[in-house]
């Protein structure tokens, strides 16, 4: 099946291969952190499954187009084109794996998803595919981990695409469960052996996006940023030579942020120029922005600075000397959140106030506090938007940001509400993950955990207590179980494999796994090491203790 390498002057390497080669050991495929989220819907998944079943039944090969990759220095590959297909294929494989009863076949299926952890050798799980910062924790917990697709207690966030991914998993489970064991195994063999792809490896991002455009935009509607680029070039009345120069600069911006990242930035810029955020950015950008700034000035002087500001926000690459690590940690905390509206004032600040390390760090630390409060205490997007807009206007107008009346400041009543909310339940996956990882960083010997780390939220008291479990002896009141299970005091952080093994075990058995040989122990989990009981009183006391720690970090008695 291998047609060999095609050596091109551009440095591009393209060849035909099977899926099992792309998802083989040693091939780590990663989505850029700014890559758009998984977006396939049921009809697209259904069409793929139908094609694969046809290949399974007829013995034919199924061609799935090109996967465009950029080779990285660490020998991994970042995916420029192919996210939706590779993610859906992994979901299909995970569902087949979790329905399989033969251990040998099950292991063969999982081999296309990842290598299991080997704690005794100090090795954590290695995954073939890593999604973006928002999707990846859910993808690990709900799809890739062995047995994950059979679970029904993984909640999704209303502020992410996880609900769509979960719906597709449910659809796949329904379709594949209805097949016979033989048909499911034949489907796996077809996925493994009879999917044909063109593997395109390019040496850099510019080449990757050139190939992406050739494969995806010919005859299709252009991206939002392509429409805006055309409008800017037309409004500026550039000569042909000038237009070519600026078009190449635009490609540099796209390479720095990715197509999705550039779309997001242009949407933020539009909001900075106009409070009216209705309508698609591509349709109203000229009216909102180009009517107020000369197109040449915008593309020459403003856009490069905005791109640099957004690159810092996406990647945490700062140039503030001794303050770099602190700012990088703060930006990481912000990226944990289940909303992204905070990025509007963040871009505005980095654009208007570059280079001052002390003031920049102070602003982002206060912005992080505000953003977590927005997640915890402001339940509607409108309420969040109003507060962020007020802050953004202060920045745009050059007004003081740290005065008593600033949106970054909190009244006594607001601080009280933040504390009360932190003492309560965290019902969504996104909120649990954000607050738990943030608290871990605030503890003694704690660390800032990124969304790419192998770190998951584990409920010590299980969310669904099995019949006959000893938990029902120590927690006989079902109402109390439900009340305290989703509170901060009942959470710890463990690697994926530890989470999977601990699951619904009793407290003592969970501790043996949490602190087993070779297991990574996070600061939030460490205080369980010497606990002998896990009662409602323990959870309430631990919740209050953790909340007090975060309130001290955020407010430290100063009220700023």
Tens digit of each residue's pLDDT (9 = 90 or more) over 287-316 = 889 889 998 999 999 999 999 999 999 888
Residue 310 has a pLDDT of 95
pLDDT tier for residue 3 given thresholds of 50, 70 and 90: very low
Q: How far is CA 95 from the centre of its chain?
A: 22
Residue 5 has a pLDDT of 46
Average pLDDT, rounded, for the chain: 85
Classify 456 as helix, strand or coil.
Answer: strand
Q: Are strands 13-18 and 195-202 parallel, antiparallel or unpaired?
A: antiparallel
Average pLDDT over residues 11-24: 85
Residue 277 has a pLDDT of 57
pLDDT at residue 214 greater than cutoff 60: no
Closest C-alpha among 205, 167, 220 to residue 39:
167
pLDDT tens column, 486-540: 999 999 999 988 888 888 899 999 999 999 877 889 999 999 999 999 999 999 9
Cα–Cα distance, 516 to 311 (Å, whole number) = 40
Say if residues 292 and 273 touch (Cβ distance below 8 Å): yes
Sign of the CA dihedral running 481, 484, 485, 491 = negative
Residue 36 has a pLDDT of 61
Residue 452 has a pLDDT of 78
Average pLDDT over residues 204-226: 53
Residue 494 has a pLDDT of 93
More confident residue, 382 or 22: 22
pLDDT at residue 220 greater than cutoff 80: no
pLDDT at residue 218 greater than cutoff 50: no
Whole-model pTM: value is 0.66
Classify 42 as helix, strand or coil.
Answer: helix
Residue 162 has a pLDDT of 78
Say if residues 195 and 21 touch (Cβ distance below 8 Å): no
DSSP class of 118: B
Say if residues 374 and 339 touch (Cβ distance below 8 Å): yes
Quote the percentage of the chain above a pLDDT of 70.
86
DSSP class of 477: -
Average pLDDT over residues 45-70: 90
Q: Are strands 62-71 and 13-18 parallel, antiparallel or unpaired?
A: unpaired
Residue 216 has a pLDDT of 52
Angle between helices 381-396 and 357-377 (to 10 degrees): 160
Lowest pLDDT segment from 103-112, 321-330, 389-398: 321-330
Residue 459 has a pLDDT of 94
**Edge-to-edge strand ranges of the sheet holding 13-18:** 6-7, 13-18, 195-202, 62-71, 77-81, 29-30, 129-130
pLDDT tier for residue 2 given thresholds of 50, 70 and 90: very low
């Amino acid at each position: 099946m291998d047609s060999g390498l095609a050596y091109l002057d551009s440095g591009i390497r393209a060849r035909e291969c099977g899926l099992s080669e792309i998802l083989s050991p040693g091939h780590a495929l990663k989505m850029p952190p700014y890559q758009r989220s998984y977006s396939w819907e049921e009809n697209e998944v259904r069409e793929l499954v139908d094609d694969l079943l046809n290949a399974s039944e007829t013995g034919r090969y199924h061609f799935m187009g090109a996967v465009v990759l950029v080779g990285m220095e660490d020998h991994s590959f970042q995916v420029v084109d192919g996210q939706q297909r590779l993610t859906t294929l992994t979901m299909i494989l995970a569902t087949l794996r979790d329905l399989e009863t033969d251990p040998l076949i099950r292991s063969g299926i999982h081999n296309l998803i990842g290598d299991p952890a080997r704690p005794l050798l100090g090795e954590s799980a290695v995954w073939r595919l890593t999604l973006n910062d928002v999707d990846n924790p859910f993808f690990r917990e709900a799809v890739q981990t062995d047995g994950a697709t059979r679970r029904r207690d993984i909640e999704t966030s209303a502020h992410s695409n996880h609900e769509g991914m979960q719906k597709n998993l449910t659809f796949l489970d329904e379709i594949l469960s209805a097949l016979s064991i033989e048909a499911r195994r034949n489907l796996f063999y077809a996925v493994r052996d009879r999917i044909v792809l063109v593997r395109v490896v390019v040496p850099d991002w510019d080449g990757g996006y050139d190939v992406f455009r050739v494969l995806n935009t010919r005859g299709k509607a252009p991206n939002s940023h392509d429409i805006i680029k055309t409008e800017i070039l037309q409004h500026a009345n550039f000569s042909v030579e000038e237009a070519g120069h600026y078009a190449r600069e635009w490609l540099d911006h796209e390479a720095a942020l990715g197509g999705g990242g550039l779309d997001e930035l242009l949407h933020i810029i539009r909001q900075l120029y106009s409070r009216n955020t209705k309508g698609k950015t591509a349709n109203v950008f000229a009216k909102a922005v180009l009517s107020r700034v000369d197109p040449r000035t915008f593309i020459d002087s403003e856009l490069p600075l905005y791109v640099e500001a957004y690159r810092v926000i996406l990647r945490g690459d700062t140039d503030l000397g001794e303050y770099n690590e602190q700012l990088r940690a703060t930006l990481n905390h912000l990226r944990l959140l289940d909303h992204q509206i905070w990025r509007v004032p963040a871009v505005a600040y980095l654009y208007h106030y570059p280079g001052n390390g002390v003031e920049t760090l102070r602003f982002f630390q206060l912005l992080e506090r505000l953003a977590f409060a927005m997640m915890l205490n402001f339940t509607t997007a409108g309420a969040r938007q109003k507060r962020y807009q007020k802050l953004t206007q202060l920045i745009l107008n050059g007004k003081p940001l740290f005065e008593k009346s600033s949106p970054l400041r909190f009244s006594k009543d607001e601080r009280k509400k933040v504390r009360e909310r932190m003492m309560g339940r965290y019902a969504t996956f996104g909120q649990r993950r954000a607050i738990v990882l943030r608290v871990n960083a605030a503890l003694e010997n704690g660390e800032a955990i990124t969304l790419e780390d192998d770190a998951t939220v584990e409920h010590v008291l299980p969310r669904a207590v099995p019949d006959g479990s000893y938990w029902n002896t120590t927690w006989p009141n079902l109402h109390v179980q439900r009340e305290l299970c989703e509170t901060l005091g009942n959470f710890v952080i463990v690697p994926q494999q530890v989470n999977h093994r601990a699951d619904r075990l009793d407290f003592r058995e969970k501790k043996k796994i949490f602190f087993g040989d070779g297991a990574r122990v996070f600061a939030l989990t460490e205080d369980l090491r010497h606990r002998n009981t896990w009662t409602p009183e323990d959870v309430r006391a631990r919740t209050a203790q953790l909340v007090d720690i975060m309130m001290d970090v955020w407010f430290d008695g100063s009220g700023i």
